[in-house]
Chain A
Amino acid sequence: MVITFPHMGKMYIPVKALFDELGVDIIIPPKINKDTLDIGLKSCPEMACLPLKVTIGNYVESIKRGADTIVLSGSCGPCRFGYYGVIQKEILKDLGYDVDIVILDPPREGLRELIDRLKKISGNCSLYSGLAALSKAFKVSEGVEELLELVLKQRCKEINKGDTDDILSRFEEKVRKVKGANKILDCIQDAKGELSKVRLDSKKKTIKIGLVGEIYTIIEPFVNFDIEKKLGDMGVEVHREMSVDNWVKYHLFPDIKFRRKQKRTLKYAKDYLDLCIGGHAWETIAHALYYARKGMDGIIQIMPFGCMPEIVAESILPTLAKNENIPVMTLVVDELTGEAGYQTRLEAFVDLLQLERSRKENEFGEALSWN
């Protein structure tokens, strides 16, 4: 049995750590590129959301490299993500790949089934070693997130453009080659060490933008055209509450303190939306409010075209923007999004924020009469 899984940003690192510790063979799909998407476009329903198309590409590329089992997390509504596994199995079947798709649904859908499936993919390891592997994977996930946060903070202030990203891409190359959670943790430490040596312009005044939206499009750099890097290079400090680590902490790990904090943040948004409507719409609104009150200069929402929950969030955000007096821009991405237009919109948004900032600081005073 050789396991593969879909890409979502840097999620492959903790997943790799987990399976390495369990001693299960895995194939990490190649980094998402245009070809990956093309495979998905040829075989997926046109109206499906972008992640479905990209992940099909991931599977096919991994299957060609020898994978025979796909592991996917599941859910039971209301977002259609819960049905990805079923659709993808049919698509792969018609493409001629008869592989096993293991969907890990939440326990309330059947605890027995979940345990059976977990046993299957963990190579029948003992409960103790399973938990030990899991706890190590959690550590890796935390480490990766810390590293990424450091990158976010530093990128906008580095003196030599590209230093931070060089370290990050070197780290990613290295991590694919090593085996075992401990070695991965070492890699993370090394990368952090290197990052601390990057020369920064600490006095630089940066514009602060908060990212909200659907988790996949926020985290996966291919589908959002590496928005973090694009903004960082423009000298923008990007804040991103949504992350794999937070998701794990909220849904899988018994981290009560974090859960409470998260629930508090969500309750915060009750004037705009006070129930879960699926996907990450509630988080989108809650985080947007959180950013607004934290003094960010602007908020960018990213979602895949046709994302059902985010469309609701999209209709609420303008009111929030008005009430909290903060600019909000929504970026909808799909397979046809052009990079140049996207870049232009980002630049224009950042320009506006800069203008607003200087107006607030009264640098131009009354000279800008059109304001």
Chain B
Amino acid sequence: MDFTLPEELRILREQLRRFVDAEIIPHERETLEDSGDELKPEWRARLVKGAKDLGIWMMEVPEEHGGAGLNLVGRAVVWQELARTIGLPSRGETITGPSVRHILYNLEGELREKYLLPVLRGEKKACFAQTEPDAGSDPGGMRTTAVLDGDHYVINGTKRFISGAGRSHFMQLMAATDRAKGSRGGISCFLVDMDTPGVKLGARYQTMMGDAPWEIILDNVRVPAKNMIGEEGGGFKLGQKWLGTGRVKHGARALGVAERCLEMATSYAKQRATFGKPLAERQGIQWMLADIYIELEAARLLVFQAASKLDAGEDARTDAYICKYFADEMAFRAADACMQIHGGIGLTTDLPIEKFWRQQRSYRITEGASEVMKHVIARHVLKTY
């Protein structure tokens, strides 16, 4: 059993660390637009150049589509290092290339020309429209329906909390083709252009993390039947294949956040003296630091175990749930403890802690709430033992 990263990833990690420390952290409050989910154009140009120099541009895109095709363990190293700063959007835009919805790689012919290739060239953006006012953690209960009418589907419903909808050219839309079956064969997946008649952006929600997701209203939207991806009712299964990767990404990102919080908390605890002694000499503070470190090391093992299992093609669904749950919760506790150790200054926007704290608080809810992760983990335990 070998717990060390391969030499090439250790070297990559060093390079990324140097890049983030030198090029991003000194400017981390200046790089983002007010919306928080996009880089300012001048910073995008600068940091994308950096990503290209580092060879991590298009790292997620498979080699056959012209990307670097980095494996998940390698990507986890990159996600971890890039998450050490608040200078990059936590959600939304990345500096490692256009965000390509995995489902697009399955496209062929005309759809491939229309959707995958423009995304790879950076000309089109896509959003993922699944969540609804009454269907977040329970997508099977969604009320948006798609009804076949000749060679078109007619779609009606409302989607909520859709990140990036306002700047997207099309959406990967999940809709019920059979509400009775729900997530067991009743949900289908469609690619829908945002300028299709009947698609309207509704309310925009300003969140505490900075980004502002949208409501999308679908009013008798006619979508060509050929824009349905996979079989009718097979939309859910299609997405499943990639969920593990997303959860490992959560875990890896959380490692970077917690590591930065540990660095800051420790350094501050050594400098800051109260009642004649540095904070670091007080047991109450030492235990906080020890807790962050213990949990960070535990999360690191979970993240890289899940990543290497998925790379090996194993069924690592439960590992991925554990990874998302434990690492996102862990990094929230790390940010919270880091803030507590800093006292008043930790609350200010002079330091990145409050931003990490807000981000991490949100990840306990989004992209799989902690309780839902535990729910599926419990199901696994009850089945296995």
Partners in one complex: no
Q: Which residues of A contact B (CB under 8 A)?
A: none
Q: Which residues of B contact A (CB under 8 A)?
A: none
